[in-house]
Amino acid sequence: MTTFALFALLGLAVVGVWGGLHGHRRKKRILASESPSARSPVSAELKSVHSRDEATALSTQTLESAKLTSLVALPESTDDSIVAVALESHSTAPCAGPDNAAPEIAADSRPIDSRPTVITAAMPTPVADSSPKSTSALETQVSTLTETINVNDQPALVETSAGQCISTKTVDEEEKQSSLPIILPAESNMMDAEHAIAPVEYAFNANVPPDPASEAKESSVAPTVQADTGTTSPHKPALPPVFENDQPGVDVLSQPSSEATIPTKLPGYRPLAPASPTAPSRPRRPVNIRAAPNANVDLRLRVQLVFSRSGAVKTLALIPDRREGMPDEIEISGTQGELRLSEPLDDCYELVPLMDAGNALQQGIEWRERGKVCRWRWVLSGRELYVLTPGDEFGLSGFVSTARLLLNARHVVLATARLRDGVLSTLADTGCVISDASDDTTPGVPAGWLIFRDVTPTRAVPMRDEAHILNALCPLPNVEPHFVGGIRLERRTWLAGFPPRIRFTGALGDDFRPTIDGQPAHPATDGAFEAPGWDSTGVHRLWFGGQTETYALHTMDENWEFWRAHDFGTGTAICGGATYPPASIRQGQVQVPVTNRLLLGARPGEVFHCHLRDDVRCETVMTLVPFVPVWALPLDSSHADKRSARILLFHLTEPAADIKMPTGNRIARRALVAWISAIHEAGCKGLVLAADSKESKALWRRYQDAAKQLRRKMR
Amino acid sequence: MKANELLLWLSARREGSWQQFRAVVEELHSDDRETCAEDNDEFPLHQQLRLDLERLAHVEFFARDCEKGWRVAPPILAAHPVPGGVRGVLCGARSPALRERVLRAADKLDCETLYSPGVPDVIRFVATDAPALTEVTSKAGVQFQPDAPLAILSYLPPCDPPLRGSKQAEFPVGIDWEIHEFDESNLAWRKAERRHAQTARVGMFRFLLRYQRPRYFLRWTRSTFELPRAIALYTLLSRSRRNLLRYDVSARTLRLPAICRPPQLLERALVLCSGLPPVYDAATASLTYSDMPREIASFAAELLRQPLR
């Protein structure tokens, strides 16, 4: 018994100790989930958001039906890059509304139990010069994220979708406290933001069956993306450099990092690393496939420079980028105050003249969408050197800023006076012959800046230190095609008969052998490449150096339609060179002299009295007549001046013979009487015909006879 | 040739925004590279092209169903009587195939293609009578508009003062606006004060803000109305009935001061008499419309509320 009691006490003690340990573990787990972990690849923010969601939205029931539908890389807004992961209860429900509403607005319109729960994870700060990661590294990163999401052991499908399902609310809150990210150029290739998001999509492809849109995107996706972020001075910072062709991306590949990885000083201008001439260039997007609008991404601000005939700078403007699906008008605020971007082109908004250009170019410009939700931001990085290329390829006049010099293409270089010697020597290395530069005494040149014209590099030169500003003047040997001129209907579609000229920049070399539709292409007299049938209607495939570009030539659809462009209340509309009566009225337009306003048709009873405009005195009137008029008589022939009054003949049409006398129809009978009386009175008065020909006289006599016979019948 | 390409582009795209129009003007003239594509720095090229395309009845701008941009009009042979027959001017949308068809259909007629700077090629035919032109249009698949100038004038309202019940306007607020008043006696703009504009009994005022379209206001019996420039101007000038319009019977031309350019649709009617835009004479700062029948000139003068001398 004693022994039994002893064992019972011992058992209770063991249970108590086990229970205490278990409770301690449980507490520890809770504490761990609430405290930031420096070693965890996912920062505290995700966890805090997650715990918030745990407390509110992510009930077990919700999570069971929840699917992770989107993972979007947000390249902006905080010191860290952000990846937003949206959990949505129905995978088919779009996160953004069809009216382009912000995701949370779209979500709010749905029932509570179906609203997407958004988890925002602060990704580690990417290392500025980290090397591109492999796909496996990317997968590792993503799997870590997936684990974090699945902390409740709930199944989650992961799917990426550019431009959707972004926790804008969370991002906005963070943005208020954050400074601008420092975005450095990708080391390998320049690409669009759509591309920048694509690797994430790739990483999840194993989990998600690709939708058609993502399939389309895949063909244009670059293998690696890298962009760096950092911090800037809180006091009106000079914006970091952003490459013109670069859209800021998110380094989802970088290793976990903390504050130690944040650069302490602004990096310099860092153009792309020189690529091997034999290396294939970036894969191009297919024709006419554009990504959905990607909210919370940086958009480019390019610089446009137009010269006047006198050589002065006529226009110095900013070109704000626009993506498909963005609104026609956006209210923005930024470095230059509050503006409204409107009247969009295919890929940019209306040009905005650049004020205080000298400072703005050096300090940089940032615009943000105004309103509760900031979905878009435009950035022009401040720097001391801009390379501008002819804008004709972009459909713009003058010159438009670009990332760097291209071989064998004409450029303009805009640089601060401080860089004068460096620019001249670097350009000399590239084979440019620059006599002099225009300084700020030239009208329109920004104060403290110089403009170098006719910069045409002919040889590639190695770059200097990676961060050197003058690297933008070191052209790469990469071969790039350019479709210039023609009548362009869409991005890669031209009007048949007006094809573009196909030119190449880069180190072409002697063995450069492009083909068009499999036919060898040869340079024409103007240097553009042509091949047999290159300008025929249809889609053409241009192949060069292992890359392919397509372009199309279409004929015009001639199905133009009339519309009521100008209608001043008369019922007749004006469109182009024609006038159109109301659609319901089948009448013909007739020009009638004001002296002969009584119109008669060939059928007895066809009488029309033209009304004059009371607001205008005129000699002739245009009127709509419900029949084909044959004669025009004075309104009251019996009182007309027979010396001046005339009978006008419109058409040589015989009078209708098969006339049935109207019975019981007063209106028809009255019209018949009016027709007979008009002819009778004109005859009695002895009015003469305006066209005094035998034919017309004979015809008039036959009308008189017809009227006489009808008159007798009516008696 | 640029204007021809522009018309082809417009015909292919059918309609678009004002900014798209500006962009394509830039694109088609971008091979001028460093040289500014505009002949006159005071008047932008895209505005010049827009007005010419509108006058020649190729494209409608800011009209109904294209309030924020443009839309190409369907192709039409706009006819009008000339000494010795009837002349048709091809206006509206154009495609290379359409042009070819029209020229082929009219090979028996007196056909001429005129090259005028800044406007698409003017294609016009002269026939002895209207049915001959109708046959051409039916073969080529375009519409026919007899007496086009008169038809357009017949449905235009005159330049009369706004009615009492018309919607009144207010001057734009802000110190950045530059204000000018139209001087009736000198036919010129002169600077004006906002206070004067607000208190004037009668007058026409222009409000300018950099990079924005000018706005025109008519002060009429102490009320303010925002009107199109030409309407406001001729309403103001209707008080004095100056001898602005001069008709030369022998030359069949109508001349008027360039600053008094008539309203857009009325000018379209005048231009369709010849198919050519008016000739600007820098010495006299006047515009001359050619091949103008007297009755059309009289009708236009009536609508402008001006005597024809």
Q: Is A356 left (phi over 0), alpha (psi -120 to 50) or beta?
A: left
- Tell me which amino acid residue B290 is: S
Q: What is the mean pLDDT of residues B30-41?
A: 44
Cα atoms in the 13 Å half-sphere on the side-chain side of B167: 3
Facing A579 at nearest CB: one of B36, B152, B157: B152
Percent helix, strand and coil across chain B, each to the nearest 5: 35, 25, 40
Contact B150 A346 (CB under 8 A): no
Contact A617 B9 (CB under 8 A): no
**End-to-end Cα separation, chain A, in angstroms:** 145
Residue A555 pLDDT: 92
DSSP H or E stretch at residue B171: none
Give B98-122 pLDDT, tens digit per residue.
999 999 998 888 889 998 888 999 9
B27 near A CB under 8 A? yes
Residue A512 pLDDT: 86
Percent helix, strand and coil across chain A, each to the nearest 5: 25, 25, 50
CA distance A714 to A705: 14
Q: Is A144 in contact with A202 (CB distance < 8 Å)?
A: no
Contact A622 B151 (CB under 8 A): yes
B112 near A CB under 8 A? no
Neighbour count for residue A51 (Cβ, 10 Å): 16
With both helix axes pointing from N to C terminus, report the angle between B264-271 and B294-304 in degrees, rounded to the nearest 10: 170
Across the strands, what pairs with A609? A598
Residue A585 pLDDT: 61
Residue A393 pLDDT: 65
Neighbour count for residue B30 (Cβ, 10 Å): 23
Facing A307 at nearest CB: one of B36, B58, B95: B36
Mutation target among A304, A351, A400, A574 for the B interface, most CBs of B within 10 A:
A574
CA distance A54 to A52: 5
Contact A577 B89 (CB under 8 A): yes
Give A470-509 pLDDT, tens digit per residue.
888 888 777 888 888 888 888 889 999 999 999 888 877 7
Mutation target among B7, B18, B46, B154 for the A interface, most CBs of A within 10 A:
B154
Per DSSP, the three-state class of A259 is helix
Which portions of chain A are predicted below pLDDT 70?
Answer: 1-297, 309, 343-346, 392-395, 465-466, 583-587, 662
Alpha helices, H only, A355-499? 357-363, 420-429
Facing A578 at nearest CB: one of B13, B143, B298: B143
When mean pLDDT is compared across A188-197, B70-79, B283-292, the lowest value belongs to A188-197
Give A205-231 pLDDT, tens digit per residue.
333 333 333 333 333 333 333 333 333
**The total number of residues written for chain A in this structure:** 715
Contact A574 B265 (CB under 8 A): yes
| Residue that wins the pLDDT comparison between A659 and B147 | B147
Per DSSP, the three-state class of A227 is coil
Across the strands, what pairs with B37? none
- Tell me which amino acid residue B301 is: A
Contact B32 A397 (CB under 8 A): yes
Residue B250 pLDDT: 93
Residue A657 pLDDT: 77
Nearest 5°: phi and psi at A144? -60, -45
Contact A556 B12 (CB under 8 A): yes
B304 near A CB under 8 A? no
Per DSSP, the three-state class of B144 is strand
Q: Which residues 91-110 on chain B approach chain A with CB closer than 8 angstroms?
A: 91-93, 95-98
Side by side, the strands of the sheet bearing B246-248 are: B246-248, B253-257, B286-289, B279-281
Contact B11 A556 (CB under 8 A): yes
CA distance B197 to B248: 38
Contact A591 B150 (CB under 8 A): yes
Instruction: Please say whether the dihedral angle defined by the alpha carbons of residues A77, A80, A81 and A85, taken in this order, is positive or negative.
Output: negative
| Residue that wins the pLDDT comparison between B145 and A8 | B145
Size of interface A-B (CB pairs under 8 A): 189
Nearest 5°: phi and psi at B223? -110, 155
Q: Which residues 579-638 on chain A approach chain B with CB closer than 8 angstroms?
A: 579, 589, 591, 613, 615-622
Nearest 5°: phi and psi at A36? -70, 140
B265 near A CB under 8 A? yes
Residue A296 pLDDT: 60
Residue A535 pLDDT: 93
B5 near A CB under 8 A? yes
User: What is each CA distance from B99 to B94, B104, B106, in whole angstroms?
Assistant: 7, 9, 11
Where does residue A551 rank: exposed (0-12), middle (13-18), buried (19+ CB within 10 A)?
A: buried
**Which residue, chain included where needed, has tokens 């007549």?**
A625
DSSP H or E stretch at residue A54: helix A44-55
Rounded to a whole number, what is the distance in Å from the CA of A327 to chain B's nearest CA? 14
**β-strands A411-416, A449-455 pairing:** antiparallel
Per DSSP, the three-state class of A307 is strand
A685 Cβ contact partners less than 8 Å away, ≥ 6 residues apart: A637, A638, A640, A642, A645
Q: Which residues 127-186 on chain B approach chain A with CB closer than 8 angstroms?
A: 141, 143, 145-148, 150-152, 154-158, 160
Alpha helices, H only, A66-110? 103-108
Across the strands, what pairs with A551? A540
What is the percent of chain B where pLDDT is above 90?
65
CA distance A302 to A284: 21
Nearest 5°: phi and psi at A708? -65, -45
**β-strands A376-381, A297-307 pairing:** parallel
Rounded to a whole number, what is the distance in Å from the CA of A347 to chain B's nearest CA? 10
Nearest 5°: phi and psi at A272? -70, 150
User: What is each CA distance from A647 to A597, A691, A697, in whole angstroms?
Assistant: 11, 8, 10
A482 near B CB under 8 A? no
Alpha helices, H only, A571-693? 666-685
**Shortest CA distance to A246 belongs to which of A268, A226, A276?**
A226
Chain B residue numbers touching A566 (CB-CB < 8 A): 60, 63-64, 265
**Shortest CA distance to A198 belongs to which of A323, A285, A131?**
A285
Q: Is A381 in contact with A227 (CB distance < 8 Å)?
A: no
Rounded to a whole number, what is the distance in Å from the CA of B59 to chain A's nearest CA? 7
Instruction: Please say whether the dihedral angle defined by the alpha carbons of residues B151, B152, B153 and B157, taken in this order, is positive or negative.
Output: positive
**End-to-end Cα separation, chain B, in angstroms:** 38
Q: Is B108 in contact with B64 (CB distance < 8 Å)?
A: no
Across the strands, what pairs with A553? A494, A538
Chain A residue numbers touching B29 (CB-CB < 8 A): 397
pLDDT at B294 exceeding the cut of 50 = yes
Contact A577 B156 (CB under 8 A): no
Contact A578 B75 (CB under 8 A): no
